[in-house]
A and B are shown apart, each in its own frame.
Chain A
Amino acid sequence: MAEPVKSLSLRLQAALLDALLAAYGAFALFCLTLGFRTIDSAGGLTLQSRPVLLAAVVGAVFVGRLLLNLFVWQTDRPRTEPFAKLFTGATVARRDVIVLGAVGLLSALASLVPFPAARLIAGGMLAFLVVGAIRRAVLHFLPNLPYARIFTVGGLAFAVLFPITAYLLEKAFHLGLPLRYLLDLSIVVLTYVMLGSGLNIVVGLAGLLDLGYVAFYAVGAYSFALLAMNFGWSFWMCLPFAGAFAALWGCTVGLPVLRLRGDYLAIVTLAFAEIVRIVLLNWTKVTNGPNGISDIPRPTFFGLPFGASGETFSTFFGLRYDPLHAIIFLYYVIFLLVIITNLVTLRLRRLPIGQAWEAMREDEIACRSLGINTTVNKLTAFATGAMFGGFAGAFFATRQGFISPESFTFMESATILAIVVLGGLGSQLGVVLAAIVLIGGIEALRHTQGLKAIFGPDFDPALYRMLLFGIAMVAIMVWRPRGIISSRTPSIMLERQRAAPGLLPKERRT
């Protein structure tokens, strides 16, 4: 901040005022949620007031805000500067090194004390410092490595090798890994990556805010289930049809609504998704209504089913039957689908159609003045996104073996949209990261036993995960308002070597 230096009394005044306002805000927020508690007693519900807790929280907000004001926001030299430098490219002075070293030493000492809460905080601090130091060291000694590429290739290699390696290690050494749980979770994450990638075409590239993406997921799932149940077709035969039906539905919905824009389009797509769900719920003859469709056939390995009896995958290859085989296979199926989706998207972005999508997102009127038929291009975006949603739906149906309209509520659409927005509109890598954070993160918060150290042994992290998760989302959107990945790679360059990062669009309504 290049603000002029203010006198001490002025600074103090401003800091106090700000802290008082923050404390008032905290009071207004917490006076009902923390100040009172209902207790289920013999004579009915009784109200217990907790003034001490409330005062402690409001006081903590006041003191914290005051300290932040005095030492970070209202000074010319914020005391957090040395820490911030760890995560930027700024030059580190000797002073900063001393401060960081001292804090590091203190944290190391504090992590030895017998209080678990203090140890947790000190440990966190230490981890923060170490990560920052490693980051600076790597950037200092190896400044010109293609980090984005290393990251992508490394991630892909991990995704390919993880199930097989983990399975073999488990079989060889009996490590007791929760393999089934990890694989199931990865499959769910990958399904959301697939859905996010599809929606990314519609929202991120073409700029059409679609709140009803789950409709295409549902169409894909039900197409697969009905084709497989009624005609006995295999997964691989049904897959193209599921995609085609979803794309067809995309066109059907798209044709009448695509003259709308922004908020209006969002509402109409939301309504269409509800129509799909309600039709599935009530068209009992075909969809079996709220009871859903069960016993949907599982995918087969080139015709070999994964089962315990008969001619199966395990007998064909002379392996001992293991239910994990089927799950590993499912993992690779969805992984393959994700890779195909992303390769196609990558290619489309470099073709005229993808450039037209992005141009439409930027300025529709200019597009029309350049002879681009926006209706046709919006339809192709809608249909392409819908097709990938349909593939994901077919996969979902075959993995679950059971589908019902329950699975295709608005909440799903919102989650998928959150993945796209959080990842950074238009960024494919962003979708992957956001899906891991959003779906995997919620799961991971179930296992944060360490928080018991702070909140006491009664604390059940699984109960608070949504709250923690909300805080994390707000934090990400405050610090990275354009999403996790905010740079955009141009689809074509005049000079191929030079990187010219642009910015992805902000969430915008036109």
Chain B
Amino acid sequence: MRALRKLFGFLTLVGIAFAGIVIYRRRFVARRERIDLYFEDGSLLSFEQGSDGAGRLLPLAHQVITAARS
């Protein structure tokens, strides 16, 4: 009975740790900054954080967001 309770406690801890990792990844790792440009011909250019395009455009987007909330 005692061993079963220990096992249950261990499994609960593992479950909590796993849920924590999933939540952390969703909030901070999966959400990367990016900028999408849509053109009139229907084409799309997407710049992920770290690319040249994003390096120029993302700071300006941050400025827009900051200015809108000031």
Are chains A and B native binding partners rather than an unrelated pairing? no
